[in-house]
């Protein structure tokens, strides 16, 4: 069950935008429904665009027009992009996650936060467990989850963007279930074989990076043992991207912009 969110302050409303469909719709809903309750309403982006698909710049501009305000870009002062993190830290991914996420997003976000912020995240009805985990791991944050409150799924968010006249980002059109950096080190075998097909230069660069660092993103089981599987050893066709984590639903029907435009019921 989702934990009860706090209502401690009327300071800044900070909507965290990530170039994903869910976070983009969450910001629109929050600005409309909650913006009047706060001293300032902000849409903020931990800018990893240097490592993302170039179409994200178009999507960001479309969202700014939709919101009627700019999206604030926050950047690391230590690293240029994900590749810079890999090269300088000599680290890709481990049991505690990806170093690039920590350096380019978590630390940047913490530097921007203020104690009385109310922070908006784009968790949908497909992932209430992620909202619970976020609250449990960040008890100091006054969090709001407008998509959960409005009972909106990933598919609903797709439909709302379409109705708003905004094309979804290119990575979704290519069949990816999220809009992460190109060549995400948290991806599985199916994901990396799709990257090899769609972005062979990214695949080759990561394969070289693995060998340079002597670190493999993937694992394989041989004789009951978990062994490293380097990308340059990955057989084509291995893995099922559609069966890997972070599944998004298909397009919903019957969802309208009334979800954003209607007044809250009393």
For 158-181, how does the pLDDT look when each residue is reduced to its tens digit (9 = 90+)? 999 999 999 999 999 999 988 989
| 250 assigned to some structural domain | no
Alpha carbon distances (Å) from 6 to 9, 118, 119: 9, 9, 11
Domain for residue 189, yes or no?
no
Rounded to the nearest integer, the mean pLDDT of the chain is: 87
Residue 172 pLDDT: 95
Q: What domain count does the chain have?
A: 1
At residue 120, the pLDDT reads 96
Mean pLDDT of 45-63: 97
Which of 126, 118, 124 is closest to 144 using CA atoms?
Answer: 118
On whether residue 16 sits in a domain, the answer given is yes
Q: Within a domain: residue 229?
A: no
Domain that holds residue 125: 12-177
pLDDT greater at residue 5 or residue 97: 97
- Pick the range with the lowest mean pLDDT from 15-29, 126-140, 186-200: 126-140
Looking at residue 114, its pLDDT comes to 95
Q: Is the pLDDT of residue 140 over 70?
A: yes
Q: Is the pLDDT of residue 264 over 60?
A: no
CATH number at residue 151: 3.40.50.620
Q: Are 41 and 29 in contact (CB under 8 A)?
A: no
- 76 vs 130: CA distance, rounded Å: 25
Q: Note whether residue 55 is domain-resident.
A: yes
Q: What is the pLDDT of residues 191-242, one digit of tens each?
A: 999 999 999 999 999 999 999 999 999 999 888 888 999 999 999 988 666 5
Q: Is residue 15 within 8 Å of residue 70, measured between CB atoms? A: no
Higher per-residue confidence, 135 vs 264: 135
In a domain, 155, yes or no: yes
**39 pLDDT exceeds 60?**
yes
pLDDT at 9: 56
- Residue 248 pLDDT greater than 80, yes or no: no
Lowest mean pLDDT among 45-54, 56-65, 94-103, 211-220: 94-103
Buried-exposed string 134-145: b where 16+ CB fall within 10 A, e elsewhere: bbeeeeebbbbb
Say what the pLDDT of residue 245 is.
47
Give the pLDDT band of residue 127 (cuts 50, 70, 90). Answer: confident
Q: Strand 118-120's sheet: what is its strand order? A: 71-74, 40-46, 12-16, 118-120, 142-144
> Would you say residue 257 lies in a domain?
no
243: in domain: no
Q: What is the pTM of this model?
A: 0.86
Query: How far is it, in rounded angstroms, from Cα 51 to Cα 62?
Result: 20
């Amino acid at each position: 069950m989702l934990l009860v969110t706090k209502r401690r302050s009327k300071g800044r409303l900070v909507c965290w935008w990530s170039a994903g469909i869910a976070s983009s719709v969450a910001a629109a809903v929050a600005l409309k429904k909650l913006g009047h309750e706060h001293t300032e309403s902000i849409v903020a982006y931990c800018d990893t665009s240097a490592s993302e698909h170039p179409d994200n710049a178009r999507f960001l501009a479309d969202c700014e027009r939709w919101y009627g305000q700019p999206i604030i870009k926050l950047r690391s002062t230590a690293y240029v992009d994900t590749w810079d993190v890999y090269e300088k830290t000599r680290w890709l991914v481990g049991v505690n996650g990806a170093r690039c996420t920590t350096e380019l997003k978590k630390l940047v976000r913490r530097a921007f936060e203020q104690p009385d912020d109310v922070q908006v995240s784009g968790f949908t009805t497909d992932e209430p467990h992620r909202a619970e985990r976020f609250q449990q791991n960040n008890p100091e944050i006054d969090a709001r989850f407008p998509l959960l409150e409005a009972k909106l799924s990933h598919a609903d968010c797709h439909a709302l963007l379409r109705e708003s006249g905004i094309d979804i980002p290119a990575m979704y059109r290519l069949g990816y279930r999220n809009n992460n950096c190109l060549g995400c080190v948290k991806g599985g075998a199916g994901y990396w074989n799709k990257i090899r097909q769609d972005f062979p230069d990214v695949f080759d660069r990561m394969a070289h990076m693995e060998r340079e660092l002597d670190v493999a993103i993937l694992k394989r089981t041989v004789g009951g043992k978990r062994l490293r599987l380097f990308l340059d050893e990955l057989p084509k066709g291995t893995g099922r991207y559609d069966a890997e984590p972070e599944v998004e639903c298909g397009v919903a029907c019957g969802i309208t912009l009334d979800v954003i435009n209607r007044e809250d019921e009393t």
